[in-house]
């Protein structure tokens, strides 16, 4: 069975099409006090169900909806619920940076398990201080990557390009190096200091005059990280700067600030569907689900 929460419809339907499955119908409404209500309808099977729900744009209520769906599936006799969470929020707070802070990354992992998700598929989880999904999750958690697909898309679009691949910060090395190896390109990883939610400082880069550059990151949220890198690359003479990201959150006027900084194309996957979703991760998820249910 394939079910989806409010943010997961596009990817759930695309994956269901590949697998030749239907999707479960869920009726949803809000109680007058703001609580969510839902009800599954259709024919239930007792086997496994996959629930699609990226935790964006409103992570907290989408998570609650995921919990309600998982509980409803279990209540309807489903033996196993596979959470397909293409984007998992809260993973960037992977340390108590200051006294009094929560360790959100561990907490979201515990919560996902607690609401009845038995196995998990995620895409390019923000893994940094916890470097593997198994360091965060006690359940089986598969972390698949959109980076190869994004790189192949770029290659088709720019067959002649010999780009420099740039990662904005230490954690981006894991994604930038995959792209660089597919493009057979040089890869540089910069250093980033975060000064606030909307302010970052990026280390200097030089010797790139006339070069085409591809900036690679797992996600773009406010766009400040990418905008800062792009401005610097352009002022150092880069001839063109494109960006490859798995998760295009693009909050507030992020896309505008990227274009103002001099961005060429933003090439993103459909973990969070948008007009920038040039690449679909549905075939990867379908393969993973087939493997899990074999």
Binding interface with ligand R5P (CB under 6 A)? 92, 126, 168-169, 171-172, 200, 217-225
Q: Which residue stretches of 20-125 are H helix?
A: 59-75, 104-114
| Residue numbers annotated as active site | 192
Q: How far is the CB of 177 from ligand R5P (least distance, A)?
A: 14
Q: How far is the CB of 123 from ligand R5P (least distance, A)?
A: 14
Between 147 and 289, CB nearer to ligand R5P: 147
Tokens of 115: 């609401």
Q: How far is the CB of 266 from ligand R5P (least distance, A)?
A: 12
d(CA 218, CA 226): 11
Q: Which residue stretches of 6-139 are H helix?
A: 9-19, 59-75, 104-114, 133-136
| Phi/psi-derived region of residue 116, left when phi > 0, alpha when psi is between -120 and 50, beta in every other case | left
Between 14 and 215, CB nearer to ligand R5P: 215
CA-based max dimension of the chain: 62
Between 15 and 269, CB nearer to ligand R5P: 269
Q: How far is the CB of 249 from ligand R5P (least distance, A)?
A: 7
Between 212 and 218, CB nearer to ligand R5P: 218
- Report the alpha-carbon angle 180-190-142, nearest 5: 55
Q: How far is the CB of 198 from ligand R5P (least distance, A)?
A: 7
Residue pair 36/112 in contact by the 8 Å Cβ criterion? no
Q: Where are the beta strands (DSSP E) in 145-271?
A: 164-167, 186-189, 192-196, 199-202, 212-220, 240-248, 266-269
Exposed/middle/buried for residue 103 (C-beta within 10 Å: 0-12, 13-18, 19+)? middle
Tokens of 192: 């980033």
Between 145 and 222, CB nearer to ligand R5P: 222
Q: Is 180 helix (H, G, I), strand (E, B) or coil?
A: helix
């Amino acid at each position: 069975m394939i079910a989806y929460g409010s943010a997961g419809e596009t990817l759930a339907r695309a994956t269901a099409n590949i697998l030749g499955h239907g999707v479960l119908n869920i009726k949803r409404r809000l109680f007058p006090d703001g609580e969510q209500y839902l009800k599954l309808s259709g024919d239930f099977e007792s086997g496994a169900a996959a629930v699609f729900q990226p935790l964006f744009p409103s992570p907290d209520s989408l998570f609650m909806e995921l919990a309600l769906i998982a509980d409803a599936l279990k209540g309807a006799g489903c033996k196993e619920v596979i959470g397909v969470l293409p984007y998992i929020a809260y993973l960037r707070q992977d340390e108590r940076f200051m006294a009094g802070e929560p360790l959100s990354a561990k907490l979201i992992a515990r919560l996902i398990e607690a609401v009845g998700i038995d196995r998990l598929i995620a895409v390019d989880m923000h893994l940094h201080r916890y470097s593997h999904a198994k360091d965060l999750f006690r359940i089986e958690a598969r972390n698949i990557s959109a980076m190869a697909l994004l790189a192949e898309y770029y290659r088709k679009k720019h067959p002649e390009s010999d780009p420099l691949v740039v990662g904005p910060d230490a954690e981006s090395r894991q994604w930038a190096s995959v792209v660089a190896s597919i493009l057979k390109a040089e890869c540089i990883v910069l250093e980033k200091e975060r000064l606030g939610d909307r302010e970052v400082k990026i280390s200097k880069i030089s010797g790139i005059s006339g070069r085409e550059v591809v900036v690679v990151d797992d996600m773009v949220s406010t766009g400040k990280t990418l905008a800062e890198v792009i401005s610097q690359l352009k002022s150092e003479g880069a001839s063109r700067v494109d960006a490859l990201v798995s998760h295009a959150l693009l909050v507030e006027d992020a896309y505008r600030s990227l274009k103002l900084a001099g961005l060429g194309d933003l090439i993103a996957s459909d973990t969070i569907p948008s007009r920038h979703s040039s690449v679909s991760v549905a075939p990867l998820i379908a393969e993973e689900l087939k493997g899990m249910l074999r």
